[in-house]
Amino acid sequence: MSAQDQTSTDEIPTILVRDLKGSSLLCYLEQLIPIEDKDYGLLTPVDTPVCLFRLKEGDDPEFIETIESKEPILEVADVVLQEHDLTLVRSAVTLTVAGELEEPEAEELEDDELNDDSETYELLVSFRAEGEEYGLYIPLDPFFIVAKINAGQAILVEGDEFDKIQPLIEMELEEKENSD
C-alpha cells in the first residue's frame, strides 16, 4: 500500500501514519498546516477509534491508557467483536475497530454514555477477561491526530514535539477560521 491513497467514494485523501515504534494507522487527511517550513497534517482515523476501560461496580470506569498489543484482554475483546462482525485493530496512537457499526438509538445512547474528564464515550461492547469486567468505548468527541508530513510519509507527532507544536497548530487553525 502506498503512503497516500484516494478513497473511491468521498475523494478525501488518506495517509498511512507511523509512530516511532513502527506501528501504523490509516487516516483521512483533514487539513495540511504549514508551520516553521514543515507540513503537519491534522488527521482522523479511517476506522473507528475505541478506548478500553476497566469496569468496577460502584466505581467510575478506569481508563486504561497503555496496553500491549498482545495482552490477553485484547484477545478476548477480539472474540467479542467478531460476534458483531467487527475487528479490533491494534494500530499506532489508538485501538480502532473496523467494520460496519450500528447507529445508536437516542434512548440507548443516554444509558450507555460514559463521561470522563469532559469527554463523552459510547459503549460499544463489554466483556469479562482475567476475572474483571472491561468495556470498549467509542469517543463521541472528534479524535484528531497530528503527523509531520514529508515526501508523502506521515510520522506521528508525540511527546515534547507535540507539546511544542500543538499551540502553533491551534493558532494556525484560528487564523484560518477568522479569515474565512
DSSP string for the chain:
--SEEE-TTT--EEEEEE-TTS-EEEEEEEEEEEETTEEEEEEEESSEEEEEEEE-TTSPPEE-----TT-HHHHHHHHHHHTTT-EEEE-SSSEEEESPPPPPPHHHHHHHEEEETTEEEEEEEEEEETTEEEEEEEESS---EEEEEETTEEEE--HHHHHHHHHHHHHHHHHHHHH-
Q: How far apart are CA 149 and CA 146, in angstroms?
A: 9
Distances (CA, A) of 169 to 32, 145, 148, 162, 174: 10, 12, 12, 10, 9
Mean pLDDT by 10 residues, the chain (180 residues): 44 89 91 91 94 89 83 91 92 88 56 56 91 92 91 90 90 81
pLDDT for res 28: 94
C-alpha distances in angstroms, 129 versus 73, 94, 97, 126, 133? 6, 20, 19, 10, 7
For the chain, how big is the Rg over CA atoms in Å?
A: 18
pLDDT at 113: 54
User: pTM, whole model, 2 decimals?
Assistant: 0.77
Amino acid 2: pLDDT: 42
pLDDT at position 81: 94
Please give the pLDDT value at position 87. 93
Buried b (16+ CB within 10 A) or exposed e, 35-47: eeeeebbbbebbb
pLDDT, residue 27, reads: 94
